[in-house]
Structure 1
Amino acid sequence: MNDAEEVKKRIDIVEFIGQYLHLKKTGINYSACCPFHDEKTPSFMVSPQRQSYKCFGCLKSGDIISFFMEMEGLSFPEALKILGDRVGIQISTKPKEVADKEKAIKDKIFAINLVAAKYYKSVLWGKQGEDARAYLLKRGISDELIEKFKLGYAPSANKLDSYFAKYSFSSKDIALAGNPQRFKYRIIFPIFDVLGAVIGFSGRILESELPKGLSPHPKYLNSPETPIFHKSRCLYGLNLAKDAIRKKDRVVVVEGQMDVISSHLAGIEEVVASSGTALTQDHIKILKRYTNKIIFAFDEDEAGQKAAYGAIKMAVKEGVDVKLTIIENFKDVGELVEKKSELWSKIVDSSLAPIEWLCKKYQNKIALPEGKKALASLSLPIIDVMASEVEKSHYTSYLARFIGVPVTSIEKALEKIDHQPSNKEAMPKIQADETREERDLELDAFVFIVACSNHLKISDLPVEDFFANSTYLKFYKEALKCYDLKGDRKGCLDNLIKSLPEDLGRLVSVVALEWDKKMAEDLEGAICEFKDIVKKIKSKKRELLKDEFARKIGEAESSGNMQEVRDLMAKLQNKLKEE
């Protein structure tokens, strides 16, 4: 019996789902209104006999693990790990002693953060927090919202260290937790994971309390990275927003914590913010678990608009339905809600698609050629990465009309976008802050095949001519010979790695370490990611093949050679079947 089956065996689905929904006995099953779509008549059924659920309205169905994934926006490994912990099943690819040690460290950090959050909250509601409460009240933040977000205050005389002493936390444990006592003169925003556990803190300086001579910078001070707090994956307010996101089928992404709280004040609860970092591809992927509609509402200053543009490109690449707000006459969401809260929901509802948003931003600048060129240079890369050909065509025409040029001019400009390095066979370079999505997918697949052979079967491997890069293709053919061996496959592949060109060898070493880390954390997830990469590469090859034949067929039609058209179409069908 595998881990998933063991977990399902130990947790009763009726009892578990009953923690989320009011279940009513209906014959041998239980019913409730579905949590995944709006309805008045219950169509969501839970079967204790089959330990499964199904909604006969939206047709979602599954077991206890898939329900937990849907409700909390978790991946399968995340959901399995949490449920396993609840029933004492160790879900890990690591040795038990290593996994136990890591869990103990994380549990201690959770405990330290909880104590710190309670301390800062008690200070805010005490005499030392009077000025902080007055500031929050001035910003329109009620006592109810303060309680909802568990806000706190770190005074000048931060006595959290002595508070920790009551709990016998060691200095080493406190340091691993990121030293939560680091904050002074700051309003404290506890940061929660999706299940409501405190994983870190953000502190906003309270200038009125700051002694003369002390710098008010940074305005926001955040917890450092810890074993439980990873800024690139953390979204402030998601624990409170997830249900509203599902209900509204959209999420509004703002810049800061105050923007999130202000949005709740204005009645927009499907809102989150990145925690002290730029939005990342991981943030987008996490939000996609809840909805495919993302509205970016960043500050109207230069930094905010630059961040918005970067977020557009990431989201469009992920296939997300993206829109953006324009907040005129206010610097950010917080100021807007403070002065005219009723406008916020109208602005969100009237948000614009990326190309429309860019055109609106440049509407007073396109009288001159420089303005047209600037708008086109920003718009074309976004149109280029759109997955839908219909959407591409629509916004190509939209941009052409707005700028006042022929559609063919925009189409020609799109064709000139460089999708590959000038030397197509040059080895791709990896920057320190580069994500896997921004790299050559073929490199990731190649490295997994040659460096992670213990986790692949011959049947998992793609066809012999899979790689477009001639260097990868050459060594992949050699790797296939190693997989055919009945003896020392790993030794054969190790020798192959040693024979790689120096530049490629270095790249393989770097990417192999990334794969090792992923497999140590989540073996099943890493293998699934490899298979997903293979699918993406195959899909890209099919699209390139179809484009090539479309061009040839078009040329044949233009010359009136219908026999060649029929031959080419038949040849295309055969090639697609071979893929």
Structure 2
Amino acid sequence: MRTLTGVPGLINEEDLATVRERSRIEDVVGSYVTLRPGGGGALVGLCPFHDEKTPSFRVTPARGFYYCFGCNAGGDVIGFVQQINNCSFVEAVEFLADRVGVQLRYTEGGGPRVEPGLRSRILEANRLAADFFAGQLTKPDAVAGRQFLTERGFDRDAAEHFGVGFAPTGGRELAKHLRAHKFSDDELIKASLIREGGWDYFQGRLLWPIRDAGRSVLGFGARRIFDDDRMPAKYINTRETPVYKKSHVLYGLDLARQHIAKKNQVVVVEGYTDVMAAHLAGVDTAVASCGTAFGDDHARLLSRLIGSTDALKGEVIFTFDGDAAGQAAALKVFSGDQHFISQTYVAIEPSGLDPCDLRIQHGDAAVRELIGRREPLYRYVMANTIGGFDLDRVDGRLGALRAAAPLVGSVRDHSLVNGYIHELAKMLGTDVDEVRREVSRAGRRTLPAAQARHREPPAYDEPPPEDDEPQLLGLPMPNPRDRTLEVERGTLRLMVRAPEVFTDAWNGVAVEDFTHPTYAAVFGAILAAGAAQADWPQPVLARLDDASASSVVAALATEPLLRPASPAYAAEYVAKLRLLAVSRSIANLKSKLQRTNPVDDQVRYNRMFAGLLELEQQRRELNDIAAGPAL
């Protein structure tokens, strides 16, 4: 269930409903995607979340949902803003509230956090500032900035491609420029574009615009290029603003997003020039954190970017220095590995060069080769962990095994675990069975429940000990073209799109009537939501905490019905669903009867036979109801 929690309070439910009502999904999506009529009241277009040539992206204005049949991305208008802008639920609501002119109230904290329209004003001011800075880079005052770029292998075309700019040394030029566009000093201070007193926030520095996935300018990163710069830090960034939060943004995301979706890969580098060098060298999935270390929020952001594809094929590759600081950074990232749904890797250049210097000294191919030499992050961390023990001593090998075993147990692709157990045993010179037992014990001691939900049981050579706790899994995504599940999906589609044609008890349908666990979860949420409401199926989504189930609801809301909705249509679907459930029960009961000796256990045999007759009667009655037009 998506939370409305934020600081300082919760969004008022009435305001949230108003934002949803006024935010027409076709208008919001249409500002990012060209939509055309697709039949059945739906609109279709090319999906903005993955590359495609044939439209598989569908928007249903009547229900307020979107769904892509190519990458399974789907949801309501708030979910679309979350995904396209890589922001939280609360931030998406506030974005839409500004768009439609709703002043949000919060149930605690004493009023709105940001005055209406301020976010859009800041974004517009940032856009104008980025254009201004880019124009200043060609001026005589910026010769030092141009020289800095040239020395690092970036020509004018590269500067324009990445929007690199220059903040004039005078310290008043930007403020004057933006005031001419009717911005107040108060707005510019809140945007972190000027300081109290009217001085420009950035002065005499080279600047990089930091954009979100939708190419809106959120803030800037600035590098010192003059020795007499009064700011001691080599890099400074925009202060935290209503649109810029350094732990939630990644530089280069606007240029990398489509390539990330296409290649199912993200390369995380450490600086602005490293991003530029990587992209120009052909590593066009590179991004970097802005003014802060890579953290859990960044990991969640990347997971949203590549979360709709095959997680075990996805790659998040980090480029760390090979020194102690790089090792510490790798450990920090590994400690938050549960936030990723893709495999994590590390690419270390033995010479210690970062991607920018590597490109300068050895060319584009060397940067590509650096990424090509990636190794699993766990293996890099494991090698450094083992390196801290004396493996010539028995106690040293035991200590190294106990330190490294949790790393092997946390490998995301468990089909590889057995191989890694053998690899660790070889590294330590220890018996394989001893390593396997320690890995199993470490998994039971340390595996968090939140992490376990995303993992499959380890594929060990031998069965795990009997006291192993079962691991929870995320729900699988059902195949919408699976004919054996056609009636289950069709019944749910009708419930999502036309709940009014069912009785209050959903015509007696039970969760047990659904064989696919995700469809069962969706119907369970429908039951929990109660009677259909005006904003249906929002109450259903609110009761789901599984991504696959939520995506199925979004898909069902956009799929056309095969016939006009009516109570008779619902009755036929329910009859076919119940008929399948009764048929399964009959098959199970017949199997039990065949295995029961009527002489040795006559009472039980007679009871089962009577139950079989009753089920056969139910099947005949359901056949009569279900014998309507083809569904």
Measured at CA, do residues 168 and 380 of structure 1 come closer, stay the same or move farther in structure 2, by a change above 3 Å?
A: same
Which residue, 340, 344, 348 being the options, matches 1:322?
A: 344
Q: Which amino acid aligns with 1:200?
A: G
Bigger relative contact order (CA 8 A; separation at least 6)? 2
Distance 1:278 1:320 in 2: 20
1:201-240 matched pairs, under 5 angstroms: 201-206=220-225, 209-211=226-228, 218-240=233-255
Tell me the number of residue pairs that the alignment of Structure 1 and Structure 2 aligns: 426
1:93 is the counterpart of 2:99: no
Mapped partners of 2:72, 2:438: distance in 1: 45
Residue of structure 1 equivalent to 2:297? 282
Q: Does 1:150 align with 2:172?
A: no
Name the CA distance, whole Å, in 2 between partners of 1:216 and 1:302: 28
* Contact preservation (8 Å) 1:396, 1:407: yes
Letter matched to residue 295 of structure 1: I
2:17 is the alignment partner of 1:23: no
Q: Which deviations, in whole Å up to 9, do the C-alpha atoms of 1:369-421 show, x marking residues without a partner?
A: 49978975764443354567655554333212233222344456658879999
In the other structure, the counterpart of 2:185 is 170
1:27 deviates by: 4.0
Report the CA distance between 1:125 and its aligned residue.
1.8
Q: Which of 417, 420, 425 is residue 400 of structure 1 equivalent to?
A: 425
Contact 1:177/1:226 (CA < 8 Å) preserved in 2?
A: yes
Secondary structure of the residue aligned to 1:263 is: helix
Residue of structure 1 in register with 2:306 after alignment: 291
Conservation of the 8 A alpha-carbon contact between 1:316 and 1:322: no
Distance 2:248 2:282 in 1: 26
SS state of the match for residue 159, structure 2? helix
- Aligned pair partner of 1:313 in 318, 335, 344: 335
1:60-116: per-residue Cα shift (whole Å, max 9, x none)? 444433333333333433333322321223344258983275446655654654454
Q: CA deviation at 1:288?
A: 1.0
Shift of 1:305: 3.0
Q: Which amino acid aligns with 2:98?
A: D
Q: Which amino acid aligns with 1:355?
A: Y
Partner of 1:569: none
Q: 1:399 to 1:96 in 2, by over 3 A?
A: closer
| Correspondences of 1:24-173 after superposition (within 5 Å) | 24-28=36-40, 29-93=42-106, 98-99=111-112, 102-103=115-116, 106=119, 109-110=122-123, 113-114=126-127, 116-160=129-173, 163=176, 166=180, 169-170=184-185
> Could you tell me which amino acid in structure 1 is paired with residue 293 of structure 2?
A
Correspondence for 1:192 among 179, 192, 211: 211
Q: Distance in 1 between matches of 2:441 and 2:183?
A: 64
> Structure 2 unaligned runs (5+)?
1-12, 308-314, 452-537, 547-631
Following superposition, the deviation at residue 325 of structure 1 comes to: 1.2
Distance 1:216 1:376 in 2: 48
CA 1:157 to 1:24, structure 2 compared with 1: closer, same or farther past 3 Å? closer
Deviations 1:426-453 (A, max 9, x none): xxxxxxxxxxx99xxxxxxxxxxxxxxx
Q: What is the alpha-carbon distance in structure 2 between the residues aligned to residue 165 and residue 11 of structure 1?
A: 31
The question of whether the paired residues in 2 share the 8 Å contact of 1:112 and 1:177 is answered with: no
Is the aligned partner of 1:341 residue 2:344? no
TM-score (norm. length: structure 1):
0.61
2:101/2:116 contact within 8 Å kept = no
Question: Unpaired segments of 5 or more residues in structure 1?
Answer: 422-436, 439-523, 533-579
1:182 and 1:137, CA in 2 relative to 1: closer, same or farther beyond 3 A?
A: same
Q: Which amino acid aligns with 2:244?
A: F
Q: Report the alpha carbon displacement of residue 178 of structure 1 after superposing the two structures with TM.
A: 6.9
Question: Kindly tell me: are residues 106 and 374 of structure 1, through their superposed partners in 2, closer, same or farther at Cα, counting changes over 3 Å?
Answer: farther
For the 8 Å contact 1:301–1:331, the answer to whether it is kept is no
**Alpha-carbon distance change, 11 to 172 in structure 1, aligned in 2, over 3 angstroms:** closer
Partner of 2:22: 10
Deviations 1:118-166 (A, max 9, x none): 4433321211112312321332223333223322223443334762665
Call closer, same or farther: CA 1:386–1:111 in 2, change over 3 Å.
same
Q: How far apart in 2 are the matches of 1:162 and 1:72?
A: 28
Which amino acid in the other structure matches residue 143 of structure 1? R
Task: Summarize deviations over 1:239-266 as a string: whole Å, max 9, x none.
Answer: 3322222222221111111111212212
* Counterparts of 1:268 and 1:108, CA distance in 2: 34
Tell which deviates more after alignment, 54-63 or 345-354. 54-63
SS of residue matched to 2:375: coil
Of Structure 1 and Structure 2, the greater helix share is in 1
